[in-house]
Amino acid sequence: MRLRFAPSPTGNLHIGTLRAALFNWLYAKANGGTFVLRIEDTDLERSDAQYETNIVDGLDWLGLTIDEGPTQGGDYGSYRQSERIKAGVYDEKAKKLLASGHAYYCFLTPEDIEKEKASAIKKGIPYVHSRRSSDMSEEDVNDALASGKPYAIRFKMMSDREITFKDLVRGDISFDCSLLSDFVLVKSDGTPSYNFAVVVDDAAMAITHVIRGEDHISNMPRQLAIYEALSLQAPQFGHLPMILGPDKSKLSKRHGATAITEYRDRGFLSEAFLNYLALLGWSPTGEQEILSPDELIKQFSLDRVHKSGAVFDVQKLTWMNGQYLRKLSVDVLYSLVMRYVSADFSQIMQGYDLKKQHLAVAAIQDNLDVLSDAMSYLEVFFERDSAYLDLVKDQAFTADQCLVLKTFLELLEQSDADSMDDYNALLDAVCKKLDLGKGKVFKPIRLALTGRGSGPNIGALLAFFEDDVISKRLGDCLD
RNA sequence: GGCCCUAUCGUCUAGGGGUUAGGACACCAGGUUUUCAUCCUGGCAGCCGGGGUUCGAAUCCCCGUAGGGCUACCA
């Protein structure tokens, strides 16, 4: 079983494309198949090596390991269409089609075709290419060729046929060929068109299953016709539902961040992202939604792929990311967090004991949805005194609250509290001594210590700050 | 316009002739917690419409409607 992911490097890897890659990968892994990457860069104008890098980076981030591709090679190379053009792969097949009468030279200019189209629209009839050039005599064709007239090679669509195929996710789909134009196989610049190139390459690379977006369904009759004309065995096809933006149209740049590297940079975990994406258009048998890559592979099957489009919901992605973040060990979370705080902040943090740093990170673990939020939650621990002073200067403390601060300070002086537990015990003692509820006690202490009304667990806060800092801050509030 | 695909809570989805139509996100309410959160409990909320078929349709069929895709010498 051989699956392929065949993006064109005309832009960054985005969600829809990636989801296709993911499903191919899952299907390949689930069945012990091979996952190949083929770069479809026949559009010389728009293709760019930088995008190929972005695509590979994205796959890499998510752990979608490639078995054969431009960088890892394989027995079916080259894995870049631009290189295959140079190798003459497509020319050979085009000649074959020309020779067998399935294709012909077309000398019509784009303007000619525009005219045909306009007149069809005017008459209110569906446009079908006139295939005028296919009637030319061999002599005329040779003359035109010899005179250097620009030409394209078109496929001669059999007009009185119906083409049917069994889609792996949708079942039988059929098309009336009489409605289909003779389409271009080879463009006038000599490069193959998409429909031609995919067929030639999927066949040459012995691809057995093609899983791609629903937007490719209408290409099926053209591609199937080429397989037939070339007497090639067609793979099986499965078309995935589209991923939609909030407005239900195909997800695109105008829906915001679509380059998947942006999600990485915002602090989504690759496993969470993968998990969420897998649930878009596919569902497992049970009700468990949090699934590791291995579990996904184990459970994946094409017959549980949904048929209708799915709206990409950042909120749920974010929730899922939080779930993954919460399961991380402090060590791992810490090293992750350090990659998402600014260089300055990281330097400040590293001025503290590693133990303290871990304490702070552990204290914010339950707050985190995305790693890029970490810094703002961590601020309270590592900010400069001036920032703290700025916040606390507007805080007014009532006499009762001052009593709480004073009592706490007294107890603190007599204790040798060190851990979170110790400080919590101290806090309890204050409550008991003053006969006050926790709210009445904790609030003024938090306020005095951080200048904020909310934040991490106060035990963690107290354990983090040195006793002299606590004394100073609380003491100053009493004045 | 033509062709193709699709239609269950706001969103992701389960369920494919007999179910109190299940779960998750979001939202709301309660609880835990010193707070924002996390966590726990509960709630709100759905089968696009109309015709068939059937003893019985969310489920099967047809027709509408709506959405999406394609209609390139882009992929």
Say which CATH number the domain at A111 has.
3.90.800.10
Residue A135 has a pLDDT of 84
CATH number at residue A444: 1.10.10.350
What are A162's two structure tokens? Answer: 């119906």
What are A160's two structure tokens? Answer: 């009185």
- CA–C1' distance A317–B13 (Å)? 15
pLDDT score of A255 more than 70: yes
With respect to residue A146, please indicate whether it lies within any of the assigned structural domains.
yes
Statement to judge: residues A100 and A44 lie in one domain: no
What are A201's two structure tokens? Answer: 């390459």
CATH number at residue A45: 3.40.50.620
pLDDT score of A196 more than 80: yes
- Protein-proximal positions, strand B, CB < 7 A: 1-8, 10-14, 22-26, 33-39, 67-75
pLDDT score of A161 more than 70: yes
What whole-number distance in Å separates Cα of residue A63 and Cα of residue A302? 21
Statement to judge: residues A130 and A166 lie in one domain: yes
- CA–C1' distance A315–B9 (Å)? 17
Pairing of strands A34-37, A152-155: unpaired
- Asked if the Cβ of residue A43 lies within 7 A of any atom of strand B, the reply is yes
- Asked if the Cβ of residue A16 lies within 7 A of any atom of strand B, the reply is no
- Asked if the Cβ of residue A115 lies within 7 A of any atom of strand B, the reply is no
Q: For chain A, give the percent of residues with pLDDT over 90.
A: 80
- CA–C1' distance A170–B27 (Å)? 35
Rounded average pLDDT over A13-28: 96
φ, ψ at A78 (rounded to 5°): -80, 160
Statement to judge: residues A225 and A180 lie in one domain: no
- CA–C1' distance A323–B39 (Å)? 12
Q: List Cα–Cα distances, A68 to A37, A196, A207, A351, in angstroms.
A: 6, 22, 12, 46
pLDDT digits 0-9 by tens, A94-150: 999 999 999 999 998 888 888 888 888 888 888 888 888 888 889 999 999 999 999
Lowest mean pLDDT among A146-150, A363-367, A415-419: A415-419
- Asked if the Cβ of residue A283 lies within 7 A of any atom of strand B, the reply is yes
- CA–C1' distance A440–B53 (Å)? 70
ipTM for the assembly: 0.95
Whether the CA torsion A79, A83, A87, A91 is positive or negative: it is positive
pLDDT interval class at A207 (50, 70, 90): very high
Count of domains for chain A: 4
- Asked if the Cβ of residue A288 lies within 7 A of any atom of strand B, the reply is no
Residue A378 has a pLDDT of 96
With respect to residue A384, please indicate whether it lies within any of the assigned structural domains.
no
Which residue in A149, A253, A307, A432 is the catalytic one? A253
Pair A133, A104: CB distance under 8 Å: yes
Residue A423 has a pLDDT of 93
User: Is A253 an annotated catalytic residue?
Assistant: yes
- Structural domain boundaries enclosing A116: 89-186
H or E stretch at A335:
helix A330-340
- Asked if the Cβ of residue A221 lies within 7 A of any atom of strand B, the reply is no
- Asked if the Cβ of residue A428 lies within 7 A of any atom of strand B, the reply is no
| 3 state SS of A55 | helix
